[in-house]
Chain A
Amino acid sequence: MMVDGDAAADVAGLSLAEVVRLIARRKLSSEEVTHACLDRIERYGGKLVAVAGCEPEHALNHARAADAVIARRRSTGRGDASLLGVPLAHKDMFYRQGRISACGSRIRAGFVPDRTAAALERLDAAGALDIARLNMAEFALGVTGHNPVAGTPHNPWNPDFVTGGSSSGSGVAVAAGLAYGALGSDTGGSIRFPAACCGIVGMKTTYGRVSRFGAMPLSYSLDTVGPLTRTVTDNALMLGIIAGFDGRDPAASRLAVPNYLATIEDGVKSLRLGVPENHFLEPLTPEVRKLIEDAIDAFRRLGAKIVAVRVPESVAVTNGMTTMITTTEGAALHARWMRERPGDYGRQTLGRLVAGALTPATTYIEALNRRPAVLAEFMAAVFGAADVLVTPVMMGPVPTIAESDVGANPGFAQTIFAMGHATRPFNYLGLPGLSVPMGFTANGLPSSFQLVGRPFDEATLYRAARAYERETGCTDKAPDLSKLA
């Protein structure tokens, strides 16, 4: 059944958890919700430069198959797979055997992988549909979302503004109702930036929590995989499916995955919320400072205990060390193409990889070997006093595409460095960070705070974020796309 525009908007505006429930109860069919998403992909996907590839008939065939399974299971009384028939779409770096994965690049424009990403395998096993490949920064190297090679996506709240990167299409697709959830990757902020810029929820998972097998590598030491969704509960639902041990990823943890949904409504009474006295709240623009102070007040009202924490001075170096490790490992991965096809890279991507090729090996190794000690120092200073740390994601409002188009101009490295002030430290430390919308700045664009937790304690972040979401309705608003139509 083809749904019309308004009905498509209503259906596509539902949360992932709502759609799961409605499909399972057969109030909506998978075909209906898939039609709704495909309709919006057709209407807005191109204008927002969010979609790298989509095969509507293929998606609809999968949806019909899911509906048949649901009907059969209902008649036999068997339970449903948790995401059966729900349309998702993912960053174009999660490989699916036999399907192109271009990684936002010219170099891999026709690349057809021989394997399927572990995260996709788990979503497939849960019955989810994979309806589109989503645009991204070239080779996942880019914090603003600019991509001179594959196209720069537009922010659904205002197309003149950036989406954040590198999981740019994932942020846009979820915020604009093109899909109910999306996978992204985060090496320095690449899930949290697009989540913050597009006003949705994004989880940078603990290093080792989600398998990177079959996901395009950028930096083996730092890469993480996580979900971007419209609500906190949706995010917990997706992470519960994709997390867990996988012997094909050498960094994978064997710690069992908790049931994130079991504790998500438990509230924050007596939870100690750490507010940093140094580093993370400087330099902050006044309007973002006001938003984060209001968010802290909301947590106080909810019963959280607000505690001031002083982060170790070593945190100031972690942003730089993350950048250096990323570009050095990236340069090693890209060396062959850097030699043979330098002209096929965007200038900024190549410039950053060149920086990696210049890094002395001793400096790179020292940065890696310092991680356990820097982590231990951070854990003692912060999580001795607090259960969760709150920081901004970005230190100022979302910039326009024009003003942040630094390319490879003089000073571009400093611009990229400054944008990761509050995000990259947690890639170096390996800690989970959840980006949560906290309101809007004067330019009408969303702004977010970040909740950071102990290793593998994503459950507490979800619990805190859900309490805030319940109190403030922070994920209720959706962008008005009518001006794009």
Chain B
Amino acid sequence: MHDDDFEAAEAWMRQFQDMAFDVEALVDPARAAGRVGQAMRRLKPPLPFDDAPGRFTDALESFAPAAVTKDRDDG
């Protein structure tokens, strides 16, 4: 990213987040977040269009060993 981009980010923060920080405070974390976004978008397969996301705890429970899943606390 270029210095101009960070000035734009600073203006965006001020206008849309109502937060005021100097450019220096934005540079390093913004670069790190940008790298994560790029890497994530390269993951395969792409997100399914039609499936609504579920509760993550339910996803975890589906992989729990049988010895654990035989009893539930429904109280």
In the assembled complex, how far is the CB of residue B13 from the closest CB belonging to chain A, in whole angstroms?
A: 7
Interface flag for A296 (CB, 8 Å) = no
Chain B positions within 8 Å of A245 at CB level: 73, 75
The residue in chain B whose Cβ has the minimal distance to the Cβ of A322 is B36
Once bound together, how far apart are the Cα atoms of A383 and B64, in whole Å?
A: 11
In the assembled complex, how far is the CB of residue A327 from the closest CB belonging to chain B, in whole angstroms?
A: 7
Q: Are A255 and B47 in contact (CB under 8 A)?
A: no
Partner of A320, one of B35, B68, B74: B35
Chain A positions within 8 Å of B31 at CB level: 413
Interface flag for A306 (CB, 8 Å) = no
In the assembled complex, how far is the CB of residue A238 from the closest CB belonging to chain B, in whole angstroms?
A: 19
- Of the listed stretches A129-137, A147-155, A173-181, A367-375, chain B binds A367-375
Chain B positions within 8 Å of A360 at CB level: 37
Once bound together, how far apart are the Cα atoms of A327 and B19, in whole Å?
A: 16
Partner of A372, one of B18, B19, B59: B59
Chain A positions within 8 Å of B54 at CB level: 372
Chain A positions within 8 Å of B39 at CB level: 316-317, 320
Partner of A414, one of B32, B63, B65: B32
Interface flag for A480 (CB, 8 Å) = no
Asked, given contacts A317-B39, A327-B29, whether A207 binds B68 with beta carbons under 8 Å apart, the answer is no
Once bound together, how far apart are the Cα atoms of A368 and B21, in whole Å?
A: 27
In the assembled complex, how far is the CB of residue A387 from the closest CB belonging to chain B, in whole angstroms?
A: 9
In the assembled complex, how far is the CB of residue A311 from the closest CB belonging to chain B, in whole angstroms?
A: 14
Interface flag for A481 (CB, 8 Å) = no
The residue in chain B whose Cβ has the minimal distance to the Cβ of A417 is B32
Once bound together, how far apart are the Cα atoms of A373 and B63, in whole Å?
A: 12
Asked, given contacts A350-B25, A354-B21, whether A256 binds B65 with beta carbons under 8 Å apart, the answer is no
Q: Are A221 and B56 in contact (CB under 8 A)?
A: yes
Interface flag for A208 (CB, 8 Å) = yes
Interface residues of A in 291-336 (CB under 8 A from B): 314, 316-317, 320-321, 323-324, 327, 335
- Of the listed stretches A278-286, A397-405, A451-459, chain B binds A451-459
Partner of B40, one of A317, A373, A457: A317
Category for how many chain B residues contact A: 35 or more
Asked, given contacts A338-B19, A411-B28, A413-B28, whether A375 binds B63 with beta carbons under 8 Å apart, the answer is yes
Interface flag for A6 (CB, 8 Å) = no
Once bound together, how far apart are the Cα atoms of A430 and B17, in whole Å?
A: 30
The residue in chain B whose Cβ has the minimal distance to the Cβ of A365 is B53
Chain B positions within 8 Å of A417 at CB level: 32
Interface flag for B11 (CB, 8 Å) = no
Asked, given contacts A354-B29, A412-B28, whether A371 binds B59 with beta carbons under 8 Å apart, the answer is yes
Once bound together, how far apart are the Cα atoms of A177 and B27, in whole Å?
A: 42
Asked, given contacts A357-B17, A358-B13, whether A351 binds B61 with beta carbons under 8 Å apart, the answer is no
Q: Are B72 and A368 in contact (CB under 8 A)?
A: no
Partner of A255, one of B18, B33, B73: B73
Q: Which one of A221, A316, A431, A457 has the greatest number of beta carbons of chain B within 10 Å?
A: A457
Interface flag for A163 (CB, 8 Å) = no
Asked, given contacts A251-B57, A253-B57, A370-B47, whether A457 binds B33 with beta carbons under 8 Å apart, the answer is no
Q: Which one of B21, B29, B31, B65 has the greatest number of beta carbons of chain A within 10 Å?
A: B29
Chain B positions within 8 Å of A374 at CB level: 43
Chain B positions within 8 Å of A412 at CB level: 28
Chain B positions within 8 Å of A358 at CB level: 9, 13, 26, 29-30, 33
Q: Are B60 and A430 in contact (CB under 8 A)?
A: yes
Chain B positions within 8 Å of A354 at CB level: 13, 19, 21, 25-26, 29
Interface flag for A258 (CB, 8 Å) = yes
Interface flag for A206 (CB, 8 Å) = yes
Interface flag for A254 (CB, 8 Å) = yes
Chain A positions within 8 Å of B73 at CB level: 244-245, 254-257
Q: Are B68 and A317 in contact (CB under 8 A)?
A: no
Once bound together, how far apart are the Cα atoms of A207 and B69, in whole Å?
A: 15
Asked, given contacts A417-B32, A455-B64, A457-B64, whether A363 binds B40 with beta carbons under 8 Å apart, the answer is yes
Q: Are A355 and B68 in contact (CB under 8 A)?
A: no
Q: Are A454 and B69 in contact (CB under 8 A)?
A: no
13 A-B contacts (beta carbon < 8 Å): A244-B73, A255-B61, A256-B71, A316-B39, A338-B19, A354-B19, A354-B26, A358-B9, A358-B33, A383-B63, A454-B64, A455-B60, A460-B65
Q: Which 3 A-B pairs have the closest CB atoms?
A: A355-B29, A320-B36, A256-B71
Contacts A256-B71, A359-B37, A369-B53 known; 18 new A-B pairs at CB < 8 A: A251-B55, A253-B61, A255-B69, A258-B68, A320-B32, A320-B40, A321-B36, A327-B33, A355-B29, A355-B33, A357-B19, A358-B30, A370-B40, A372-B59, A375-B63, A417-B32, A456-B68, A459-B67
